[in-house]
Every structure is written in structure tokens, then in C-alpha cells.
Amino acid sequence: MAVKTLPTQARPHHHARPRGAAPRRMPQLKTVIIAAAAYVIAFVFLFPYIVMLLTSLRAQDSLRDVTFWPEEWVWSNLTNFWTSGLAGNLWVTIKVAAGSTILVLLVALPAAYYSARHNFRGRTAFLILVLITQMFQPTAMLVGIYREFYQFGLVDSTWSLILVNGGFNLAFAVWILNAYFASIPRELEEAAFIDGNGRFGALFRITLPLAMPGVITALIFTFIAAWNEFVVALTLTTTPENQPLTVALNSFIGQYQVDWQNLFAGSVIATIPVIILFALIERKVVGGLTAGSIK
């Protein structure tokens, strides 16, 4: 007897999900709000720089226009920077910032290393004294600073700016390097001693490479602080050739008129090197600032 089979009903074909694959979830509302707030805050901080860049490319007669974008792009405002004499002031700024950074490196490294590796008498008082010096601002001691450099014959010189900027950024460098050296295990140096290295050999071959993020953090903050310093430079320098760029840009501000496009053009050129430098070493700066936070 023949058996009659019924046709099976066709079932819709579904794509099989790979085993172990987690379902794709939509971002939570909290994540979206945080991301939106971060973009808004970033735009608030970047908007003045955008306005500065656009104003530097405007013509003199279009500064009062209500349009956001310039109707005529005047690129000569940026190129005139190099023929107006401000290139020499930029070179002075580079020398002051680089000299202050080198001075801080030479003084802060041994001070921070010794205070982190030796429990000498008065160590706590020394660190507190370093912290107290960070509380003073150059503006509060401007008269004394000027009188001191006047007696030494260093007024209106690059060396006076290097010494002042290096001295007032030294406390921050000592503190952050002390924290980073203290977070490096002593056993690594002891192993280097066993291998035949001396104190300096262990420092330059083992400790210093590991502490490089902290060193870069201290140096970049010193460089930026010296690059942007204005009040002390305005007081200690008198001739235009010896003034850094922050003081030289002030010459575009007159009693009855402000040369906004050239002022902003110089500000843009002065800002670009710092932005590039900070972008290149941003990861190491973050690592240096979090030194000692994890045991």
C-alpha cells in the first residue's frame, strides 16, 4: 500500500547569528548625553580660535561686517608677519622657552630624583618649601625682580627672562618628577647595580627611560608657560628687538585704533607651534599627569 506524504510547509529562512556573538545594542541615553555635552564644550573652547583665524584673514575695511565668513580672503596678513619684524620676536620667544625648559631640566631632575630615593632629614620640609614657592606669582614680586636684575645688569636681556621663567616653573617640575620617580620600583635600580652599573648608569639606563612621560610632562608645561608669559617680559624688556612675541603683539593695540587682522594673524602663528607640540606628545603628558595614581 502506498503511503502518501503531505508536503511540508515552507518556513521562512532566517540568517543564523554566529554563536557567541553579542547582540548589537543602541547607545544608551546617558552615553549620548555625555558625548553631546563633550562636543558642545569642545566647540565652546575652539570657537574663539576659529574667530581669531577668520579675523586674521579679513581686510581692514571688512572688520565690522556682520558676516561670519570673510567676503575676501586676505592671505597677505599671515605672510606680512615675516616682513614686519615679528619674526625676530618669535625667535626671542623660542630662545626664552627653550632656555627655560633646559634650565628646569638640569635643576629639577637631580632634585626630584634625590628627594624620591633618599629619606634625608628635612625631606618633608624641602618638598613643602618647593610647594610654597609655587604659590607665588611673578606679578606679586615684579618690583623686586626688576630691582634684582637691574643690579646685575640683566635688564632688557634674554637671560633675565630665561632665569625668571625657569625659576617659577621649577617647583611644578620637581613635584611631578618626584611623584614619577617614587612610583618606579627601587628593585629595578638594585638589579642594575648587580649588573655592574653605578648610580648614574642606573639612572640614565633604567630609571630615566621609565620616567620619560613625567619628564616630558614637566618640560612641556614649562615650555608653554614660558612661551605665553607676558607681564615679566613687558617689565624687563625695553627695546623692541629684545621683546618676545607676546609683548611685540601688544604694539598692534593703539590708543585710538586696534590693528585686529595683524594682531590675530600674529596670534595664530604664535599658537600653531604650541598646538603641534602638544598634539605630538599628548599621550605622554596624560601618562605623566597620572603618575603615582596607581600602586
Q: What is the pLDDT of residues 113-155, one digit of tens each?
A: 888 888 878 778 887 887 787 777 777 888 888 998 999 888 8
Nearest to 99 by CA among 9, 32, 170, 161: 161
Closest CA to 179 of 102, 112, 105: 112
**Computed from CA positions of residues 129, 131, 132, 136, in that sequence, does the dihedral angle turn out positive or negative?**
positive
Euclidean distance between CA atoms 112 and 70, whole angstroms: 51
CA distance 219 to 105: 7
Q: Which phi-psi region, left, alpha or beta, contains residue 153 (left: φ > 0; alpha: ψ -120 to 50)?
A: left
Angle at 142 between CA 138 and CA 143, to 5 degrees: 155
> How many whole angstroms separate alpha carbon 246 and alpha carbon 3?
100
Higher pLDDT, 261 or 32: 32
Give mean pLDDT, residues 195-214: 81
Query: Rounded mean pLDDT of the chain?
Result: 80
Q: Compute φ and ψ for 253, nearest 5 degrees.
A: -100, 105
Question: Is the pLDDT at 267 greater than 50, yes or no?
Answer: yes
Among candidate residues 123, 118, 116, 130, the one with its CA nearest the CA of residue 182: 116
Nearest alpha-carbon partner for 247 in 83, 92, 139: 92
What are the beta bridge partners of residue 258? 253
Q: What pLDDT shows up at residue 39?
A: 92
Quote the pLDDT of residue 37. Answer: 92
pLDDT score, position 25 = 63
> Which residues face 253 on adjacent strands?
258
Query: Residue 140: exposed, middle, or buried by beta-carbon count in 10 A (0-12, 13-18, 19+)?
Result: exposed
pLDDT in tens, 34-58: 889 999 999 998 888 888 888 888 8
CA distance 22 to 289: 36
Averaged pLDDT for residues 91-100: 93
Q: How far apart are CA 257 and CA 268, in angstroms?
A: 20
d(CA 225, CA 165): 8
Q: Are 158 and 99 in contact (CB under 8 A)?
A: yes
Give the rounded distance of the alpha carbon of 254 from its chain centre. 31
Contact 127, 182 (CB under 8 A): no
- pLDDT band for position 218 (cuts 50, 70, 90): confident
Q: Cell triple for residue 210?
A: 621609565
Summarised one tens digit per residue, pLDDT across range 177-187 is 888 888 888 88
What are the start-end ranges of the H helices in the chain? Answer: 29-56, 76-79, 86-117, 123-135, 142-151, 158-183, 186-194, 199-202, 208-210, 212-228, 231-236, 245-248, 260-280, 282-289
